[in-house]
Structure 1
Amino acid sequence: MPFNGPGGMYIAPPMDGSRPGVFQANLFEPETKPRFSMMSLCLHETCPGHHLQFAFQNQLSMPAFRVQVDHRNYYSAPCMFPLFTAYCEGWALYTEYLGEEMGAYRTPYDLFGRYSDEMFRAARLVVDTGLHVFGWTQDRAEEFLRSNTCIPEVEIHEEIKRYITWPGQACAYKIGELKIKELRVKAEAALGEDFDIKEFHSTLLSLGSVPLDVVEDAVNEMIQRQIHK
């Protein structure tokens, strides 16, 4: 990563194929960076996370503004259009969970990183609402992350600046993941042995960037389609 910021990020390829997708890992002051979260970070940013998500979207027969995210203004407010964070980042968090089903966390060290990241996402829910609803100061928000997560000190200040600039983004991650898990449980219960995880994932990825109510409608339609085959 050419600057200090989050632990990592993904930049999707352009639709003309002039360059590949790019996964950037933050190696600023590498001696301060814990390595145990690398597996969950890779799942989130690459496959089956954002790289698979955006590569799939680029092949959809939709207008470009539905499938192509403008990464040139990633850190500008009000940031990118179109981007429904709950859908986009909800999928990426869900794929961190999929890593357990896939057997990607091969050691207790990797699994510790997964749980550490879950603690971080939970803490961000508190910090986001604290800053924008309950009047927290930047110092109080930083202290909360310092006391309740494993992220290094050098990243805490950058993370809190991100939440101040982008209200609701940290909450949207977890809201999207919970909705996807909820819809998967619903589909599994309705379809039983006929539930096809590939069909479920294809349904999610075939939408482009959309609000969660559209995601729910699509999964409900998939369920009815499977029932009436």
Structure 2
Amino acid sequence: MDIAQLRKSYEKAELNETASHADPLTQFDQWIKEALKAEVPEPNAMTVATVGSDLRPSTRVVLIKGYDPRGIVWFTNYDSRKGRELAGNPYAALQFHWVELERVVRIEGVVEKVSDAESDEYFHSRPLDSRIGAWASPQSQVIESRTVLVTNAAKYGAQFMLKPPRPPHWGGYRLKPQAWEFWQGRKSRLHDRLRYRQETTADSGEAMIWVRERLAP
């Protein structure tokens, strides 16, 4: 099969200025709920893009764990590659791709760690194996074999039993959006793209509003 010849006509829905929400978070809330209702595979999966000190971008897939007016939250190892890169450059981008709905959401903004209380609360809600795994995996580091992970898991399982504490190197991040883009696939590659960007109001040098505008596909 020649992958260059693969084609798909996107015809499931449309996205226009009249039907979309003026607030991007409300629009995101609607779309992610529709993805959940449609039972698309892993609707909570998102790609996180960061940039290191060498100016080389890197991406990985993580799971969103919450969203509200403060931003988008996920949890991970602070010593991982993404953690190290965010420590040096707090700007990042997120992307959701709900293939079955022919939709993409892109979010750009600045990232900060969530509070210790938030990280503790979520960590202790995780299954026991996942909590042990947070201790067992030196994420992004080179290891000799899978045996290292299994050995570490057994070690920390014996040490902490049923009550492993949250590792100091593990916790949450929150991306505070500065730009959103909602993409809806359309026929003939004339896709709908609505971008929301922040702009300072004319009567205030501080208050920010969201400006919605259409981008060419």
TM over 0.5: no
More helix by share: 1
Larger CA Rg, structure 1 vs 2:
2
TM-score normalised to structure 1 length: 0.27
TM-score normalised to structure 2 length: 0.28
